[in-house]
A and B are shown apart, each in its own frame.
Chain A
Amino acid sequence: IAGITQAPTSQILAAGRRMTLRCTQDMRHNAMYWYRQDLGLGLRLIHYSNTAGTTGKGEVPDGYSVSRANTDDFPLTLASAVPSQTSVYFCASSAGPQTGELFFGEGSRLTVL
């Protein structure tokens, strides 16, 4: 079982470009999340989805959008990347918000120049 698969693992991007980080899970989890990890700031929630067809804003949603067309996929899009979006992005899933345990992907390291 692969769990959570993120792509790409690493990307260098010019400012102003559009970028989509992909996330796929094979655990049939209802809830999915996107976090960014920055030194000294820990993980900050960008967007989440409780179930297919619904999404919600986290702590730092500006500049990012998500969609949840089906249970397995939860892509994160940067419409026009800026240098402050340089970070490591983690996708995670859980069976449901009340179960608590998040399963994380390996992360996508994004550098915006």
Chain B
Amino acid sequence: AQSVSQHNHHVILSEAASLELGCNYSYGGTVNLFWYVQYPGQHLQLLLKYFSGDPLVKGIKGFEAEFIKSKFSFNLRKPSVQWSDTAEYFCAVNGYSSASKIIFGSGTRLSIRP
């Protein structure tokens, strides 16, 4: 069975600080990986995704994530955060053999101090 772990439950940063949110997954085969964001009062929207190819993927709003297969990780990064990045961030995975089951992590709440 696939699973996703997000170890940072709540991260507080000042504007312009660099961000890295951890995501580790458990699955024995090929996976697709995603980061979704939920801004306050809104529904989830896709930030970026990895299917294959270059393990460094770039998403919207300056976010990027790196797939490290040997570490089963897909950490989200942003060099300089803004107050508007305040949101909850969810890592998600689906394995090729159970492609219908897109499983989410527990989420990381990001608070940015202006």
Contacts and interface: CB of A to CB of B under 8 A. Distances in A.
Interface of A: 31, 33, 35, 40-45, 48, 50, 56, 58-59, 90, 92, 94, 97-98, 100-102, 104-107
Interface of B: 6, 9, 32, 34, 36, 43-46, 49, 51, 90, 94, 99-107
Given A40-B106, A42-B107, A97-B94, A102 B44 contact: yes
A48 B32 contact: no
A102 B46 CA distance: 7
B99 A98 contact: yes
A42 B46 contact: no
Contacts of B6: 42
Query: Which residue, A42, A59, A97, A106, has most C-beta atoms of chain B within 10 A?
Result: A42
A50 B43 contact: no
Given A45-B102, A59-B101, A101-B34, 12 more contacts: A35-B104, A40-B106, A43-B104, A45-B104, A48-B100, A56-B101, A94-B102, A100-B34, A100-B51, A104-B44, A104-B45, A105-B43
